[in-house]
Amino acid sequence: MSDHLGEFGRIRRFFAPLASAAGLGLRDDAAVVPMPRGQSLVVTTDALVAGVHFVGDEPPELVARKALRVNLSDLAAMGAEPLGYTLALALPERIDDAWVASFAYGLMEDQRRFGIDLLGGDSVSTPGPVSITVTALGTVAGSALTRSGAVVGDDVWVSGTIGDGAFGLEVALGRVRWPEDMAKALHERYLLPIPRIGLGRGLIGIASAAMDVSDGLVQDLGHLAAASGVAARVAAAQVPLSAGGVWAHQDDPAWALAKALGGGDDYELLFTVSPDRRSMVNELAGRLDLPVARIGQIEAGDGVIVYDDAGRTVELEQCGFRHS
Amino acid sequence: MSDHLGEFGRIRRFFAPLASAAGLGLRDDAAVVPMPRGQSLVVTTDALVAGVHFVGDEPPELVARKALRVNLSDLAAMGAEPLGYTLALALPERIDDAWVASFAYGLMEDQRRFGIDLLGGDSVSTPGPVSITVTALGTVAGSALTRSGAVVGDDVWVSGTIGDGAFGLEVALGRVRWPEDMAKALHERYLLPIPRIGLGRGLIGIASAAMDVSDGLVQDLGHLAAASGVAARVAAAQVPLSAGGVWAHQDDPAWALAKALGGGDDYELLFTVSPDRRSMVNELAGRLDLPVARIGQIEAGDGVIVYDDAGRTVELEQCGFRHS
């Protein structure tokens, strides 16, 4: 029953080049990685299953890059610098070499982009769907960002635009029609999130708490508030929307708001900062050419309250949001 | 489609205690692990799929421990000290809390035994079988053991007994009947391999090359020889068998030899040492109370040749062994 346990077996040739940059070549039972002195190791793992976390008919190279990037986003949320990753692939029989080649090509693209190497891997056969597990390793000097440092009075910030992951999934599933260019942009955001590595690193020493938006803005902010022992209030009107998001909001405000507040897969950073550091955040964002927006405040108490444009509390359950 | 990506979701309560020892608690997007100064990081990943790598009806706690141990065995093969691990679980709907609780219990048992912590995890639903991916992290001071250092004239050694993983699988599948006590011992060896951490660490500075026996003795020795650019010869009569292995060999020598040489899942260490260090190996083995056996030599050339008791070359294909 043991089928090349611990190595890539027949698909090894596609993955060996991904490890060669570090001189590892996947030849040994494990990879040896020198650690920069005085740095801490940051570790995260995320699994993606076809039909659950991606539709299944996406180009393999994009699936590969998303699997890698959702993990890099977790590193970004800690303020870590990516170092490398391991990959475990469970593949059904029908997956052919062309699929694997495309998948490996996508990884190579993003390895170059983010300056990382494949540190180890395993490939197993499965009677189930394609399943991809990435464990990403990073380093951080000094104190990493965590979810638990938010204090009463802090501003709540997000990077980029929110809701595009959820809107893009609608496009992927063919459920909603945006104008073509907007639909394309949203779909791309869903397929290929952008881990905010530079922002995360820059926020060390500035932000009191941080995490990435993967489960949905309100739910994730709830996690951050709970970890910090505080409450958060958000002004819905301040939540930054992309052009496609604004279009959807004009068409159906309640639906768009529900997607922006409750959808997931944005992989933007959600972070809290003392008000006396607003200029530091804006200066960092300017340097990175990455928009950031102040969307609310940290208060005493617990939970998350969202206010609409008229100052009324948004009933989150009614816009499809389920409390965690 | 995103369902608690990046965290354990509903089964979190079973796994949070596994991370608490390190004070991590799985609260943040990633774990931060201080690295001992001057140590290199060692990383390995292995995935197990129900119906492929385990039968599927084993007690969950044993499945968990095996998933962890096959990774720890890779660390052992590098001479690394285990530090921690990440876990990604893909679970079908039918898996209930009792299964998860038993699985987590098994992990806790082995965390205590090997002095490691859970550093991060993810749980996803799947329409396929249970699938478990572990990435193990370890540390090594100085030079790790690799597969590529064997030189002509070195002895070839193995720890423990060989073939028990393959014999134990036969028991698990009900294919062969050993006397009850032997069957039980073999089954246990299959269910719960013993990573040779202490031996691996002790072999740094002694062994010229090392790896673990996971795919089968001859195939793995072939990998080691290829990585080192040498050939290896093995005396079949010197390959150490357990009581159950000896019993099988008396019953059907060719069958037992094929299993011992070609079976996998032993997770013993296979290593090469200069003849002038034999006493160092024996002294180390004595200190660890772990039997080791010299089974052959490294020669010039390539490939692996096995000789039987009468000095004839064993035709490996005829005993079920497929060349890699």
Q: What is the pLDDT of residues B238-297, one digit of tens each?
A: 999 999 999 999 999 999 999 999 998 999 999 999 999 999 999 999 999 999 999 999
Cβ distance of B30 and A74 shorter than 8 Å: yes
- How far does the CA of residue B311 sit from the closest CA of chain A (Å)? 30
What is the pLDDT, as a whole number, of residue A25? 53
How far is B256 from B252, CA to CA, in rounded Å? 6
Q: pTM for the whole thing? A: 0.89
Q: Give the best-scoring range by mean pLDDT among A258-262, B119-123, B176-180, B199-203.
A: B199-203
Q: What is the three-class DSSP state of B232?
A: strand
Using CB atoms, which residue from B42, B122, B128 is nearest to A129? B128
C-alpha dist (Å) from residue B102 to B58, B59, B64, B187: 11, 8, 9, 20
What is the pLDDT, as a whole number, of residue B22? 53
Instruction: Kindly tell me if the per-residue pLDDT of B3 is higher than 50.
Output: no
**Beta strand pairing call for A209-212 and B117-125:** unpaired
Nearest one of B200, B69, B76 to B132, comparing CA atoms: B69
Instruction: Kindly tell me if the per-residue pLDDT of A68 is higher than 90.
Output: yes
Question: Scanning every residue of chain B, which has its alpha carbon at the shortest distance from the alpha carbon of A26?
Answer: B44
What is the pLDDT, as a whole number, of residue B165? 95
How far is B65 from B58, CA to CA, in rounded Å? 11
Question: Within a 10 A sphere around the Cβ of B299, how many other Cβ atoms?
Answer: 16
**Exposed/middle/buried for B64, CB within 10 Å: 0-12, 13-18, 19+?**
buried
Instruction: For residue B133, give the H/E element and its range.
Output: strand B131-141
How far is B6 from B10, CA to CA, in rounded Å? 12
Chains A, B: CB contacts within 8 A come to 272
Q: Computed over its alpha carbons, how large is the radius of gyration of chain B?
A: 20
User: Can you read off the two tokens belonging to residue B150?
Assistant: 């064997």
Nearest one of A61, A164, A172, A77 to A109, comparing CA atoms: A61
Question: Within a 10 A sphere around the Cβ of A143, how many other Cβ atoms?
Answer: 13
Cβ distance of A70 and B32 shorter than 8 Å: no
- How far does the CA of residue A135 sit from the closest CA of chain B (Å)? 7
- How far does the CA of residue A90 sit from the closest CA of chain B (Å)? 8
Q: What is the dihedral of CA A155, A158, A161, A164, to 10 degrees?
A: -120
Which of A32, A95, A214 to substitute to test the interface with B, most B CBs within 10 Å?
Answer: A32
**Chain A environment of B207 (Cβ under 8 Å):** none
With bands split at pLDDT 50, 70 and 90, how would you rate the model's confidence at B4? very low
As a whole number, mean pLDDT of residues A185-191 equals 94
Residue B155 sits at φ, ψ, to 5 deg, of -80, 150
User: Can you read off the two tokens belonging to residue A74?
Assistant: 């977790």
Question: Scanning every residue of chain B, which has its alpha carbon at the shortest distance from the alpha carbon of A147?
Answer: B28
Residue B310 sits at φ, ψ, to 5 deg, of -90, 5
Cβ distance of A29 and B126 shorter than 8 Å: no
Does the complex come out with an ipTM higher than 0.90?
no
Instruction: Kindly tell me if the per-residue pLDDT of B115 is higher than 90.
Output: yes
User: Can you read off the two tokens belonging to residue A117?
Assistant: 């190497």
Answer whether A148 touches B (CB < 8 Å): yes
Question: Scanning every residue of chain B, which has its alpha carbon at the shortest distance from the alpha carbon of A262?
Answer: B2
**Chain A environment of B73 (Cβ under 8 Å):** 29
Answer whether B23 touches A (CB < 8 Å): no
Q: Residue A249's Cα: distance from chain center in Å?
A: 23
- How far does the CA of residue B122 sit from the closest CA of chain A (Å)? 6
With bands split at pLDDT 50, 70 and 90, how would you rate the model's confidence at B176? confident
Using CB atoms, which residue from A29, A123, A211 is nearest to B212? A29
How far is B58 from B36, CA to CA, in rounded Å? 37
Residues in chain A: 324
Partners of A85 in the beta sheet? A118, A136
How far is B324 from B307, CA to CA, in rounded Å? 19
Instruction: Kindly tell me if the per-residue pLDDT of B6 is higher than 50.
Output: no
Task: Write the single-letter amino acid at B48.
Answer: L
Question: Within a 10 A sphere around the Cβ of A21, how many other Cβ atoms?
Answer: 16
What is the pLDDT, as a whole number, of residue A4? 32
As a whole number, mean pLDDT of residues B177-191 equals 94
Using CB atoms, which residue from A38, A120, A144 is nearest to B45? A120
CA-based torsion, B315, B316, B322, B324: positive or negative: negative
Q: Quick check: B309 and B236 in contact, CB under 8 A?
A: yes
Query: What distance separates the 2 farthest-apart alpha carbons in chain A?
Result: 63
